[in-house]
Structures are given as structure tokens and as C-alpha cells.
Amino acid sequence: MTRASGLRAALDPASIAIIGASDNPHKVGGRPILYMKRYGYRGAIYPINPARAEVQGLKAYPDLASLPQAPELAIVAVSGEEAVGAVAACAARGVKVCVVMSSGFGEIGAAGRALQERMLAAARDAGMRLVGPNCQGLANFATGAVANFSTVFNEMEGRDGPVAIVSQSGACSQAIYALARARGLDVRHVHATGNEADVTVADLAAEIVAEEGVRLVLLYLEAIADPERLAAAAEAARARDLPIVAVKAGRTESGRRAASSHTGALASEDRVVDAFFERHAIWRVDDPYALVAAGRLYLEGWRPRGKRFVALSNSGASCVMAADAADEFGLPLADFPPAAREQLAAVLPAFATAANPLDVTGALLSNSLLFANALPVLAAEVESDLMLVALPVAGAGYDVAGFARDFAAYARNTGRAVALAAPQEAVRAEFEKAGLPAFVREREAMLALKQLAEHSALMRRTHRASGPSKASELPKTKSKFLDEAQSLALLAAAGLPVVEHRLCRSEDEARAAFAALGPKVVVKACSASVPHKTELGLVRVGLNSEEEVIRAFRDFKPKIPAADGVLVARHAAGRRELALGARIDSSFGPVVLVGDGGIYLEALKDFRLLLPPFSEREALDALAQLRIAPLLAGARGQPALDIGAFATMAVRLGDAMLGWNGGVASFDVNPVMVFGEGGGALAVDALAEAY
């Protein structure tokens, strides 16, 4: 994955050949020429068409060999075997990047896959990069290098700007582009990678994040074939405060089925993708619309350090709904201290309430300065990060342009994020003219503000350096699983507290164990051949006599291989059982699970995933997002649980997974018994699966 990308020529080629160039500007082989002329491409354009002397007014060439020079980029708009031949010819001629628009390859089944493989082999042999096949291609509106046949550039004029769109799907790249332009966002890059035989969304993203003029990157993905490359792109972006927002489709079972018939992509468990995106500060959304929704907020350069929220409106109803939504979305209403309330009362109508959300009332119609007078008070006296302006009523008699200027000045002076919500287009247009983001809907404006704040926090988050690089010692095992004693020993060696226990091979040892660990113990069969003991009745809990212990020993021993023993463990009565686990994801590597424990982990799915190495803070953040979070903090007057101790265990298990270097395929630590605050936490059950 550390190959030299050779992709600069994909974004900024000095010359472009079109193999299968068409005189019809609305055919696949014609559109790129139309667009390059329209959007001012300054490099050489070489239409290749053996049947014509001229194509769209440009000199045409019969073949690559006749060109005065090797083009840096070549578009292949011929199909089937002919396309395979064209790619081979490009490779031979020294083309740097080949964009294969033709379809009929990997996406149609085995025969197409074979063609695609041959194409790729030719490119690889020559060190040429291959975009596609079955792709709409690359478009750069900074240079006019539009090696792309998307219809949408004919419908909505391209205009260079700070946004880059990279999408596996061509149709989706057009939808994102159309929505971005409709919101007044100017877009430099629109790339669609299609079958991704070679070049992926991540490859192009990695190239683009280095461009200074790009200030927002939007991605659409169905598979993440090269997570390391995407991670590297994301970290480079983060290093220069460049936000990346992404759709990763195929979230659900049905979605994955649809994706596999669309691109043949095989998907990881979706929450691993969440964990991966979170770790690399990529903000995940659900659709193209959501990709662009917060665009203007990012581009203003606002990076709020908190989520303290203020709303202003000339409608009490909007204030009520904003307060509802603030609670629902977890945006704390900024406190108005007495000085603020006093000063606001002085500038507002007598019947207005100086509270947050702030209803300046319908008096705004007769007094256009209400916002202008209130805003300096909010700037000086109220600590906040995010502001919503809701104007459900405006029109004749309202100085909307003045309001827009007032709020723009507030945003400029405070550096705080401001968004407008108004149902009337003319009102939104005035605010946008003043440089402020505008939404139809209060809730949507608030969600964009929330996204901005939470994404900014993610982008600021520093990560722990990678864990130990040397592989830790692992016990030899011939079976798929380690037995519980081995599993617990591994955990203990990794620094996780485990329940006190003894492995007993004789009744005498069992007696001694009871004497040492009683008065109350758990007895379990301990054998790598019986990983799921509970289901087989090979676990007995709450035993409080030597007699019961020996009876369990005698019952269990014959049911396991002679070399294996029986484990006697101290009874641990904590406050709640949580689940801890880890496994190797085939795409993303080690993943750690923290969640509500016990037998309902799978049914209720109240868990979060983390990619190691992560910090205690990150583990605690993940726990705070569980549905049972209120219980962890101590419900019904009970003291809080010692989730700090649990978080430490999660961190160490993650580090250990890295240290084992793939030697452990999965590790279930369910339950971990968690005690009250200060009481710690203890692994009471453990099952490691060897690779």
C-alpha cells in the first residue's frame, strides 16, 4: 500500500487523449471534449478516431502512435476487447493514467472480470494507473481537465471552488455535485472510480487532501478496499484541518446485498466502519444530501470547541421547537448569566423574556434593531459556541438584509458558528449573501451546527501512539480455542485484572482451591475442546460448600479430555456485568467491543466498537453512548460504577491485540464484573480464539 501513487497526472494532466473520441458532444467519447473546451482546459487534447480527420473542431488522430507525444492521461471510450487493447496500447505508449469509461467488465460477471484482469495486468506491468473501468471519470474545474462524461456538468455549470467530491458511483457523484451546487457550493473535483480495478476513492482522496485550495472533501464509498490508504489520507487531511465527510453505503443487511449486486463489494460489519471513521475523524452521514448539508459551515472555517447553543427568533413557537430539538440533539442551551439577562431586558420589549432561546417577539417588525442590540450582549456576556437564527416570519416591512449583516458581524467578531433557518427563500438568500449558511428547517440547521461541533472535536482529538510492535508470547495450541485458564492468563499478562482462580486436575486440588477461594465459588470445566461450557451445563455458580465443589468436579471431569482440568474461581459479586471483546476484522484489523454484558449482548446490540490503540478517554466516550449509559453513572441513587477501571481493561485488551500481531483471532471477555466507583472491574469469563 506504499506504492508511489502516480496520480498527480490523474488530477492535473498536461495532455489528454480520447480513444473513441466522438463528434457528438453528448456521447461518452464526446462529452469530455465538450467539457474540456467549455471549462478551459489548457493542455493538449488528442481525439483519437481512425474514421475522422477532425472531432468537435479538433484535429483527430488515427491512433496513439500518431500522437506528437505520449499523453499523460488517456480516456478509453471504446468497449470490450477493444478497450483491453486500448489499455495495453496506452501502457506501451507511456501514458501515466488511463481512465476506462466503458462498461461490461467486473460488474457483469465472470467473463467481464477476466477482461478486467487482463486490462489491469497490462497497466500494472507498465506502472500505469487505471481508473475504472465502468466509471464516469475524473473532473477538475481548476484546470478544466474534465475527463468525465457526467450529464450533470451539462445541466449545472462547473465552477472551481473549495469542495472535492470523490465517489465510487458515477450517478452518486452527480447527485452530490447537483446538491452542492444547489446550495451554492463551488466544486473543484468530481471523480467517480467505478469498478476500482486499480485506483480507489481512497487513492484519489489521498492525492486531493494535499491540494491547498481544497477545504472540504466529500466521499461516497460502497467498499473500503484499502483502509490503510484511506486512513493515511484522513490523517493528512486532519493535519491541515481539512474536514472529510463520507457516505459508506451498505450499512444494513439489505444494503449490503444491494451493494454486492452493484459493485461486487464485500462489506465488513458496519459498526467497524463507524469505528474506523471515528478514529480517523471522518464524519459519516447517510446520503448525498447530508454530505453537503453542513458544507457552508465547514467552509466558513468555524471549528467550535463546544456545543453550547443559543437560539434567537421573532417567533415564540420557533423558540419552543428549538429548545425541544436542543434537548433531543444533546445541544446544551447556553446559560444567560444575570448581567446578560439584565442587559437584554434593557434592549428588548417589556413583554419579552430574556431567556435562551431568545424570543425578540413580533416587535421586530416595528423595531429592526432588536437583533442588533441583543447580539453584542450575547457576544460579551454569554459563553456559547453555536447560534441558530430562526425567522419563520419576514417579508415586507422587515429589514432582512440588515438582520443578515448584524448576524454576520456577530459571527465575524466572535468566531462563533451561526446558521439561519427560514421557510422563505428570499430570506435565506439575504443571509447567504452576507456569508451565513441558511436552511429551510430549524432542525436541519441545528443538526448541521451539531455536526460541525462534534466533527471539530473529533478532528482535534489526539491519539495515543501505536501499541507495542513486538509480538507478545502466545501459548501453543492445536485447537481453535484456548482453554479458559490459558485465556485468563493471557489477559492477566496483558495487564487486565482477572478473577482469582485455580486450575484443578484432582479432587485434592479442587478442595484446596475451595479452601483458598471460598466461601462462594464458581466451578467450570476448563478445556479448549469445550469453548461454550454454559450451553453444555459445565458451569456451576454460587457453590458454597466443599461437597458441592467436589460433586461438580466429578460431574465435569469425565466430560472433557483427560489432560484438561476444572477451574475453581472466586465468586465475584460486582454491580453490573459489562461485555468486553476483541476480534480481527478482515479489512480493518483489531477491533475492540465494549457493551452491555451478559447473555443479551447479541439480542440488544447495546455495544460500541473501537480501533486500537485508543485511550481511556475514547473508551469512556464509547461507553457514554450506550443505551445503558444512565445506569453506569449510577441510577436510583446508587453510586456510579467504576467504568474507569473497565475502560482501562478495554485499552489494554486493544494494545494486547496489537501486540499479539494477529495471533489471537478473537477474545470474548463476557462478562466483566464491574464494581462500584473505586472498586475496579474483573474479567470473570474469558475465551480466546487462536488464529
Chain residues 417-436 in contact with a copy of itself, contact rule CB under 8 A: 423-426
Write the binding mask 175 to 204 for a copy of itself: x where contact by CB under 8 A, - elsewhere: x--xx--x----------------------
Which one of 333, 458, 493, 512 is in contact with a copy of itself (CB under 8 A)?
A: 333
Q: How far apart are CA 199 and CA 98, in angstroms?
A: 10
Shortest separation between residue 141's beta carbon and a copy of itself, angstroms = 18
Which one of 22, 148, 168, 268 is in contact with a copy of itself (CB under 8 A)?
A: 168
Shortest separation between residue 81's beta carbon and a copy of itself, angstroms = 17
Q: Does 249 bind a copy of itself (CB under 8 A)?
A: yes
Q: How far apart are CA 232 and CA 203, in angstroms?
A: 10
What residues numbered 13-72 form the site for a copy of itself, per CB under 8 A?
26
Shortest separation between residue 455's beta carbon and a copy of itself, angstroms = 20
Choice between 353 and 472, CB closer to a copy of itself: 353
Stretch that binds a copy of itself, among 390-398, 405-413, 565-573, 644-652 (CB under 8 A): 390-398
Question: DSSP state, 556?
Answer: H
Which one of 210, 379, 440, 493 is in contact with a copy of itself (CB under 8 A)?
A: 440
As a three-state string, the secondary structure of 568-603 is EEECCCCCEEEEEEEEEECCCEEEEEEEECHHHHHH
Helices 400-414 and 370-381 pack at an angle, to 10 degrees, of: 10
- Cβ atoms of 241 and 459 within 8 Å: the answer is yes
Choice between 600 and 691, CB closer to a copy of itself: 600
Enclosing H/E stretch for 59 = strand 58-59
Give, in order, the Cα–Cα distances in Å from 385 to each of 336, 444, 584: 13, 17, 39
Characterize the bridge pairing of strands 417-421 and 386-390. Answer: parallel
Which one of 22, 56, 79, 103 is in contact with a copy of itself (CB under 8 A)?
A: 103
Shortest separation between residue 606's beta carbon and a copy of itself, angstroms = 8
Q: Does 210 bind a copy of itself (CB under 8 A)?
A: no
Which one of 196, 359, 577, 668 is in contact with a copy of itself (CB under 8 A)?
A: 359
What residues numbered 441-470 form the site for a copy of itself, per CB under 8 A?
441-444
Q: Does 630 bind a copy of itself (CB under 8 A)?
A: yes
What residues numbered 526-585 form the site for a copy of itself, per CB under 8 A?
none
Stretch that binds a copy of itself, among 88-96, 234-242, 335-343, 601-609 (CB under 8 A): 601-609
Give, in order, the Cα–Cα distances in Å from 519 to each of 511, 516, 577: 12, 9, 21
Q: How far apart are CA 371 and CA 365, in angstroms?
A: 11
- Cβ atoms of 501 and 568 within 8 Å: the answer is yes
Q: Considering only CA atoms, which of 318, 381, 309 is closest in space to residue 345?
A: 381
Which one of 252, 466, 506, 625 is in contact with a copy of itself (CB under 8 A)?
A: 252
Q: How far apart are CA 675 and CA 416, in angstroms?
A: 42
Shortest separation between residue 341's beta carbon and a copy of itself, angstroms = 12
Choice between 96 and 428, CB closer to a copy of itself: 428
Choice between 75 and 498, CB closer to a copy of itself: 75
Which one of 90, 138, 247, 543 is in contact with a copy of itself (CB under 8 A)?
A: 247
Shortest separation between residue 538's beta carbon and a copy of itself, angstroms = 17
Question: DSSP state, 43?
Answer: S
Residues 6+ apart with CB under 8 A from 317: 392
Q: Considering only CA atoms, which of 51, 63, 48, 55 is closest in space to residue 24?
A: 55
Choice between 259 and 673, CB closer to a copy of itself: 259
Which one of 102, 143, 315, 587 is in contact with a copy of itself (CB under 8 A)?
A: 315
Enclosing H/E stretch for 409 = helix 400-414
Write the binding mask 274 to 293 for a copy of itself: x where contact by CB under 8 A, - elsewhere: ------------xxxx----
Q: Does 351 bind a copy of itself (CB under 8 A)?
A: yes
- 524 beta partners: 539, 567
Stretch that binds a copy of itself, among 146-154, 563-571, 611-619, 670-678 (CB under 8 A): 146-154
Q: How far apart are CA 211 and CA 240, in angstroms?
A: 10
Q: Does 346 bind a copy of itself (CB under 8 A)?
A: no
Which one of 251, 271, 341, 511 is in contact with a copy of itself (CB under 8 A)?
A: 251
Binding residues for a copy of itself, total number by CB under 8 A = 96
Four-residue CA torsion sign, 30, 32, 37, 41: negative
Q: How far apart are CA 687 and CA 487, in angstroms?
A: 6
Strand order across the 358-359 sheet: 358-359, 309-313, 386-390, 417-421, 438-439
Shortest separation between residue 325's beta carbon and a copy of itself, angstroms = 7
